[in-house]
Amino acid sequence: MGDADHPYLWRWDRSRYKASWLCLRPSEDDVQAACLSKLSFLGIPAMPVDAGAKLLRGRAYGALRRAGASTACLKGQTGAGFAGLADIIGVIPRSVHRLDFPWGIPLFLEVKAPEHLEPSPGGGFRQVEAAGKPSAQQLGFLDAMHGAGACVGLIWSVDDLQEVLP
């Protein structure tokens, strides 16, 4: 799972995934949709933070700038209020986590597309596209949230949720 640098799932490891699934070449959007569906099924309210609304975000930021908003609230290339803000945020309800405290656990998931493979003519598989990697800002955000007691992790497959959730 994690290591001394990041005590949560954060590093791609091809051995964790079936080659047949990686040959389907799922996108980051596919993984995010599957995770949101699974979280809903588990009774964990969650939502995508940046569902690719770049055009809408651009218009909103333009309006904020014209209204005199400080550029400090507009930092980050993704338009998030915080550099590295996770792709999915939610709360694991007490009824789901069953731990010894009477409140929910904040949840922050950074979603990445997994490695894409294709069958190799000589047998086996070859990489067509590398798995998505987290940026320093994304890891910094997850580190800060983990340090504050949140459940965090990087997700390349809906199956990764079982590694991340308590």
Give the model confidence (pLDDT) of 109-150 as tens digits. 999 999 999 999 989 999 999 999 999 999 999 999 999 999
- The rounded mean pLDDT for the chain is 85
Residues with Cβ < 8 Å from 78, sequence gap 6 or more?
50, 85
Q: Are residues 144 and 90 in the same domain?
A: yes
Q: Are residues 60 and 132 in the same domain?
A: no
- Residue range 47-58: mean pLDDT, rounded: 64
Q: Are residues 121 and 147 in the same domain?
A: yes
**Number of structural domains found in the chain:** 2
Q: Does residue 6 form part of some domain?
A: no
Q: Are residues 24 and 76 in the same domain?
A: no
More confident of the two residues 48 and 69: 48
Q: Are residues 27 and 90 in the same domain?
A: yes
Contact 158, 109 (CB under 8 A): no
Q: Are residues 33 and 63 in the same domain?
A: no
pTM of the model: 0.79
Q: Are residues 157 and 95 in the same domain?
A: yes
Give tens-digit pLDDT for 69-111.
654 455 444 444 567 889 999 999 987 766 667 788 999 999 9
Tell me the residue range of the domain where 72 lies.
52-81
Q: Are residues 57 and 21 in the same domain?
A: no
Q: Are residues 60 and 28 in the same domain?
A: no
Cα(117)–Cα(123) distance, integer angstroms: 12
